Each structure stands twice: as C-alpha cells, then as structure tokens.
Amino acid sequence: MSNIVSNWENSESFAKKLDQNDSLKTYREHFHMPTFTKNPIIYYTGNSLGLQPKSTKSYINQELDDWAKWGVEGHFYAKNPWMPYHELLAKKTAKIVGAKESEVAVTHSLTTNLHLLMVSFYRPTKSRFKILCEKKAFPSDQYALQSQAQFHGYNPEECIVEISPREGEKLIRTDDIINKVQELGESLSMIMIGGVNYFSGQVFEMEKITKAGHKVGAIVGFDLAHAAGNIVLELNKWDVDFAAWCTYKYLNSGPGGVSGYYINEKHVTNPSILRFAGWWGHDKSNRFEMPDKFKPIPTAESWQLSNAPVISMAAHLASLDIFDEIGMKALREKSEKLTAYQEFVINDVNNKTGGNLEIITPKNPKDRGCQLSIVAHGYGKKLFDEISEKGVVADWREPNVIRIAPVPLYNNYEDAYRFGQILKNALS
C-alpha cells in the first residue's frame, strides 16, 4: 500500500482517475443515493444504515405479488417458496462470514440472536463464570452481557471484565487481550468481543483471540455487526464458537433487517448444547405434523424460533446477491484502497490547516475496516455541524469523534476528495 500512497495526489483529477480505474465503479449505480441534503451528498454512514439497492423493491414486490396471488399457499407455490425461503440466504451468507452453509442461519434481530446464542454458550459455573469483553462495547451488547450475568445469578460487576486501551492509547492491543485471557484462566467462561469496534474501527485479531480463549477452556463469540460485509471473515477456519451480526449496516438489508448468526459445526449437533427452541428449528420433515417433542434440524437452523420473516429476508437477499456477484475479496481490496485514499486526503488537509485532526482508527489497512474515526482537537460539534451542512452525512460520537465510513460498494474516490475539500473549508 505504501508505495501506492507515495504517488497519490489530493486533487479532483487524481481522484477521478482512481474512479475510472476502479473495477467496481459501476456498483454505485446499483444503489439509491439519498437526496435530502441541500448540497450534493457524501453518504458516509453505511456503518449505521447501508443504502438501498435499486433491486430491493423488485425482490420485495415478488413476495407481495405472490402473497396476493397465493395467500397461504405461497409457502409452497410462491416463485421462491416461503417454507424454505431462509435457505436462499444461508449459502450466500456462509461465503460472507467464511462458514459452512450448515453453520449459519438468518432470522430474528441481532440482540435477540446474541441472547439466544448466550443461552447456549454462556454456561457459567461457580468457578468459571467470567465474561471478557471490550471496554466501550456497543450499548446493546453491554446490556445483553449484564442481563445474562444477572440471569445466572451473578453480579455483572464481578462477572464482566472489560479490556481497554492502555493509558494514553486509543486502541486495544492484542497482547493485552491475550494476557488478560491467560490471567483469567479457568475463571473465564466466555469471550464476547466485537469483530470490528464500532467506535474506533479497530479490527480485532479474531483467530488469535479464539486460540487464546480455547487454550484456557473458554467459549469465544464475536459480535460482527461492524465486520460482516466489511472485512474478510474466516469463522470456521478460525474455529470461532459463535457469532452474530445485523444486516442493515454494511449488508444493506434495510432498517431493522434480519440478523445472521453462526454456530461452529462442532456445536451444532452436540446434544449437550442446550438451546431455546421454537417450531422453525424443528426437523422439517414432520414440522407440520405438530409433534410434541422437539427434534432439532442438524444445522444452525435449529436455533430458529419462528417462521421466516420473508419480506425482510427478500430485502436482505437483494443485497446478498450483489455481494455474491462481487465476492468479499475484491470488495475488501477496493475498501482498503478507498479508505487509505481518504486517510491520505485527510492527512494532507490536516498538514495544511494547523494539524488539529487525529485519526484514531488503526493506520495499517489490515487492522481496520472501511471506517475512519476522526478527533478534531479544539473543534467540538461545530465542525461536524458545518460539514453536515455541506452535504456530508457522517456520525458524531460524544465527546469529539466524527466517524466516516467510505463504503466500497457505493462510495468513490471523488467522495473522498470532496470530503477533504469540505473539511478544509470548515477548518480554515
């Protein structure tokens, strides 16, 4: 990457040249770019809500039309029959997270899935009950962990161990995580960390963390809300125990869209792993004979409680088909370059405006996704309001962080250049 950077320029013509040479450039046209801003938009919040693929409407309309035409018989006779509809998502999802098809399913919502997974995988005992998570985890994850601890009769403060950056640092060192795992040793029941930290954009070294956790006998799970569709994942290869993610961020499935989850194959059919059960997890061959006794499907589907939310799934499928066409490897390649160019532009602006900007996201492209978290020292929210006024849709986090997400599917190098110009004008 560094020898590319050496001949980069912070100019409109150079940005346009990068766009011309971008093999994924046409995908921007596959998405609806919002039109609500007074000035031309730079949509940099795909990490909160991904944009709508133009194809989504037809995917949803297909199901609405089949519902109109078939009523309940759509479960069998819709173009994409609703009974097995969720199976359309599993294969494509498995590729995105690096899992076997039998290890993933898509349904419910993220926090719901985290709880369902913890019911199975957080099984504290008197001597082994601790949970290791990152400090400043997303609030919903914190609440989920706290309530799980309480549910099992533990005081969250004694149970939950948070790992934080060292004094004066912004990122959490992998060595510190691993040392903490070793220190907790046999008292550690579960590690539950975000694959990519939502605040700093730091990618955690999931393979190493998993290995360290297993070494002391702990279960290792990840919240991949900011990782799925953003970075290349190899959950099966890394031997991760469980994971879950939402699909409305980088996976563009629309507000409140369905969530995906992964359960390692070694656990899926293990009868000693308990789960909360519902009829959609029951053996498909006799589900409608309404038997009294639950017989789990021998895949991750057996954690599904309810029948498939087909309309939400249709929206998700529209986006999954785009991911399937491109593949995570090619997408990540562009992502690393686009984010690096945005970083280059910001650094150039910073050099010319007094040097008050600090990017707290890791500098090495491998250690971050398509996000940059910028601290503007001495500026506060006013700077954010000014760039918003000029068409930048970004995210503000107290006390002083502007988060931007140059998403490789629909953002381009010209966005990165224009963002720099807007920032420069606001700073000077």
Least distance to ligand PLP from the beta carbon of 203, Å? Answer: 13
Indicate the residue among 198 and 341 with the shorter CB distance to ligand PLP. Answer: 198
- Whether the link from the prior residue into 399 is cis, omega within 30° of 0, is yes
Cα(286)–Cα(295) distance, rounded to whole angstroms?
A: 9
- Amino acid at residue number 327: G
Distance CA 101, CA 95 (A): 8
Write phi, then psi, for 31 (nearest 5 degrees). -125, 150
Strands (E), 4-52: 42-43
* 369 vs 420 by CB, closer to ligand PLP: 369
Cβ-based nearer residue to ligand PLP, 244 or 340: 244
| Smaller CB separation from ligand PLP, 248 or 413 | 248
In the complex with ligand PLP, the residue whose CB is nearer, 198 or 323, is 198
Shortest distance, position 423 Cβ to ligand PLP, whole Å: 25
- How far apart are CB 268 and ligand PLP at their closest, in Å? 23
Nearer to ligand PLP, 110 or 159 (CB): 110
Q: Where are the alpha helices (DSSP H) in 232-309?
A: 235-238, 265-268
| Minimum distance from residue 141 beta carbon to ligand PLP (Å) | 5
End-to-end C-alpha distance for the chain, whole angstroms? 30
Positive or negative CA dihedral for 40, 228, 327, 281? negative
Nearest C-alpha neighbor of 310 from the set 55, 81, 82, 66: 82
Q: How far is the CB of 4 from ligand PLP (least distance, A)?
A: 30
Main-chain dihedrals φ then ψ at residue 79, nearest 5 degrees: -55, -45
Q: Which is nearer to ligand PLP, 140 or 347 (CB)?
A: 140
Give the nearest distance from C-beta 110 to ligand PLP in angstroms: 4
β-strand partners of 219? 190
Say if CB 89 and CB 122 are below 8 A apart.
Answer: no
Residues that bind ligand PLP (CB under 6 A): 109-111, 138, 140-141, 194, 198, 223, 225-226, 246
User: What DSSP character marks residue 28?
Assistant: G
Lookup: tokens for 297: 């499907």
Burial of 288: CB neighbours in 10 Å, binned 0-12, 13-18, 19+? exposed
CB of 144 to ligand PLP, least distance (A): 8
Beta carbon nearer to ligand PLP, 226 or 418: 226
User: Nearest approach, Cβ of 230 to ligand PLP (angstroms)?
Assistant: 11
